[in-house]
Amino acid sequence: MDKSQITGILLAGGRGSRMGGVDKGLQVYNETPLAKHAIDRLRPQVGKIIINANRNLETYQAWASEMAAEVVVDGLADFAGPLAGFLVGLQHCKTRFLITVPCDTPRFPSDLVTRLSDALVQHDADIAMVSSPDEEGVLRHQPVFCLMKRELVESLTTFTDAGGRKIGAWAVQHKIARIDFNEAHDDPKAFYNANTLDDLQQLSAYEKY
């Protein structure tokens, strides 16, 4: 799958409740905002970029203007969660596929899109989703890291119109390929997300990979 067929959307539209209500994407990790780390990781892997944000739009728009990207806000009210970002991403996606990444996970792999797209094609799936080991080595689903076909927009519209807000509850309606990121060369902190300020401090203290 050529990267020109894939649009990447950065999910930065959350309420940041567990971080005291701040905009998580603008919190600093290694002297750079979390969201900027994620954009820089994602950008070489896809053909186009969309930023989903609901606050501090001027800041995100300034970043977007540097790379011919666009900033979009949720169409669902009241900070409806990552699925609202999925939906607005699919609505604005002009390529065959969309990949979603959160703004609070600055170390995700540089081969994320390649591995997900390979699995999606190999399994003839509608969605490819990450699984990664937690601190005890147990594989956990990472549903916010999700590659999907653009035509799923109709299914997701129907699901959210009915009040659905859980990624997993929607995704299981379709054929999913789950990819384990637990190879020997994989960064064990690749999918560590900074939900709280303490999480961010722990991540900052971790040796740079």
**Would you give the DSSP letter of residue 152?**
G
For 140-145, what is the mean pLDDT?
95
Residue 167: is its pLDDT beyond 80? Answer: yes
Backbone angles phi, psi at 53, to 5 degrees: -140, 150
Tell me if residue 181 falls in helix, strand or coil: coil
Structure confidence by residue, pLDDT tens digits, 187-197:
988 999 888 87
Is the model more confident about 12 or about 205? 12
Q: Which stretches within 69-124 are classed as H helix? A: 82-92, 112-122
Structure confidence by residue, pLDDT tens digits, 57-74:
999 999 999 888 999 999
Say how many CA atoms lie within 13 Å of 5 toward its Cβ. Answer: 12
Structure confidence by residue, pLDDT tens digits, 76-108:
877 778 999 999 999 999 999 999 999 999 999
Tokens found for residue 89: 């991403």
What is the C-alpha separation between 155 and 173, in angstroms, rounded? 9
pTM assigned to the model: 0.93
Query: Domains in the chain, ordered, with CATH?
Result: 3-205 (3.90.550.10)
